[in-house]
Structure 1
Amino acid sequence: MTARFRFIYRTIMTLVLASLLTACGSRYHIRHDKAPLREPTALEMQDAIVTNEKKSVSANRPYTVLGKRYTPISDERGYQKEGIASWYGRKFHGYHTSNGEIFNMFDMTAAHKTLPLPSFARVTNLENGRTAIVRINDRGPFHEDRLIDLSYAAAYKLGYHLKGTARVKVEAITLTRESPRLTYVQVAAGSNLENIQVLANQLQQELGLGTAITFEDDLYKLRVGPITDDNQAQSLLKTLQQGQFSRAFLLYSEQEL
């Protein structure tokens, strides 16, 4: 191998490595969000169909973004709030949402900081009266002055896709359930069943509530419940978090564990 060839080879490999590092360091394929290259179709702008879906356990745990901690609410019934809506499109198209699904800017979906995932909401543009029903399957927008982030198709239907933001009213939509949703508080997880059982007995005596132990992902998980009253669940969670269970969180089930 001549000196000139070695120089060319090293130069090419350096450029290839730099390219790979740049690609690995960037999560999205474009830096700034953009609108799609076509308009949504009438079919794509049909309201989301409201169903009773099982809530995600992992996506409804407390989380921290940009140094701020958010605690998702356990029950969206009665939720209603006004604020600023934005939209997101091509930059995030094809990437995973907080719910583990693939974001499609032409689906009638939305991101919200605290509504359960998934859930449904009617969004009304207060500037023109247009409405859209969306399925919330993502977290955001993480701006203090914004309430909800709609897919491009939903923003198009509400008529603010060119402005970028609009003042809206968000109203959660729920279906009547045959039985109440059950809430549990997960307090601990470990590989030693005996230790988990001892802790379960202690909590039963202290709280006067039932406990459930499940085996998932090679861990025994201890949950307190079930609880059917949301205020009671929130109060219990707060009490446990202020004690020795700072990482406790709520989870939901349509049937007893």
Structure 2
Amino acid sequence: MTQRVNFLLIALFSMLLAACSSSQQGRYAMEHDAAPLRKPTELEMQDAIVTPVVKSASASRPYEVRGKRYTPMLDETGYAEEGIASWYGRKFHNYHTSNGEVYDMFAMTAAHKTLPLPSFARVTNLDNGKSVIVRVNDRGPFHEDRIIDLSYSAAYKLGYYRQGTARVKVEAVTLANSAPRLSYIQVAAGSTLANVEALAFQLRQQYHVPTNIVEKDGIYRLRLGPIKDAAEAQAVLEKLKQNQFQNAFLLYSE
């Protein structure tokens, strides 16, 4: 009987240790972050579209991490800062961000310690001049030498996904200071230029919008545009989808 009690106590103690160990691992399944197993698509590397947003009340409250207190901005207008950017990927993919959205490492998003959530920012790589517009929807990075954490797609577009960090300039973007962008619609792609040109002629006659053909790696991509009015671009896209071009999608000028 005594041996049985001792065995049960040992088993119970082992279960408690396992539970403690599991809780210490935290909310993430991966212990260390890693890059995804594929590169972002052309569509995934488009800048975030600046839209009207409702700021998260819960994400606007002061908070504390590792003994340091942070006070989020109530108005990001005019914010600009230079420093080090990093990126985060698979470890955090599909987990909730600080404002309740779901993190997607292939979306144009970012984490910032004090910018309002959500908000938008232009991030420029100071070493190569490349820039992206991201939607800020998370808190971090909580390292003294870093000012912003970008999604994998954003870091890929800025050209620093291999080295992990880069010197950047971060500037808040609002509806008031965001430049209007031209719309394009990618309709089709093929390896035979003559066929793509014939389709371009047909679509120009049918939809009365300009066309352009972009070649990359031996593939010719047919796009309608530029279209200045966003509503018109959306209307043309819907017509294309109804007329056998179900895979057509919108693109925007840089």
Q: Structure 1 36/4 Cα, relative in aligned 2: closer, same or farther at 3 Å? A: farther
Aligned to 1:24: 23
Aligned to 1:141: 141
CA RMSD of aligned residues (A): 2.3
Query: C-alpha displacement at 1:25, in angstroms?
Result: 2.4
Matched letter for residue 107 of structure 1: A
How many residues were matched structurally?
A: 176
Matched letter for residue 26 of structure 1: Q
Query: C-alpha displacement at 1:172, in angstroms?
Result: 0.8
Structure 1 moving runs of 4+ over 2 Å: 2-25
Give, in whole Å, the separation in 2 of the partners of 1:155 and 1:104.
Answer: 13
Q: Structure 1 15/175 Cα, relative in aligned 2: closer, same or farther at 3 Å? A: same
Give, in whole Å, the separation in 2 of the partners of 1:80 and 1:155.
Answer: 19
Matched, 1:175 2:181: no
Give, in whole Å, the separation in 1 of the partners of 2:33 and 2:154.
Answer: 16
Query: C-alpha displacement at 1:12, in angstroms?
Result: 6.9
Give, in whole Å, the separation in 2 of the partners of 1:158 and 1:142.
Answer: 21
Give, in whole Å, the separation in 1 of the partners of 2:30 and 2:172.
Answer: 33
Give, in whole Å, the separation in 2 of the partners of 1:159 and 1:10.
Answer: 56
Matched letter for residue 21 of structure 1: C
Give, in whole Å, the separation in 1 of the partners of 2:38 and 2:20.
Answer: 32
SS at match of 1:147: strand
**1:40-68 deviation line (CA, Å, top 9, x unaligned):** 11111111111110000010111111111
Query: C-alpha displacement at 1:21, in angstroms?
Result: 3.4
Query: C-alpha displacement at 1:171, in angstroms?
Result: 1.0
Aligned to 1:214: none
Q: Structure 1 4/99 Cα, relative in aligned 2: closer, same or farther at 3 Å? A: same
Aligned to 1:63: 63
SS at match of 1:157: helix
Matched letter for residue 158 of structure 2: L
Give, in whole Å, the separation in 1 of the partners of 2:8 and 2:29.
Answer: 28
Query: C-alpha displacement at 1:24, in angstroms?
Result: 2.5
| Unpaired stretches in structure 2, ≥5 consecutive residues | 178-254
How does 1:1-257 map onto structure 2 within 5 Å? 18-27=17-26, 28-176=28-176
Query: C-alpha displacement at 1:107, in angstroms?
Result: 1.1
Give, in whole Å, the separation in 2 of the partners of 1:42 and 1:26.
Answer: 35
TM-score normalised according to structure 2 size = 0.63
**1:111-167 deviation line (CA, Å, top 9, x unaligned):** 111111100011111111111110000111111111100011110110100001000
SS at match of 1:22: helix
TM-score normalised according to structure 1 size = 0.62
| Unpaired stretches in structure 1, ≥5 consecutive residues | 178-257
SS at match of 2:156: helix
Query: C-alpha displacement at 1:14, in angstroms?
Result: 6.1
Query: C-alpha displacement at 1:20, in angstroms?
Result: 3.8
SS at match of 2:155: helix
Matched letter for residue 59 of structure 1: A
Query: C-alpha displacement at 1:22, in angstroms?
Result: 2.4
Give, in whole Å, the separation in 1 of the partners of 2:101 and 2:171.
Answer: 23
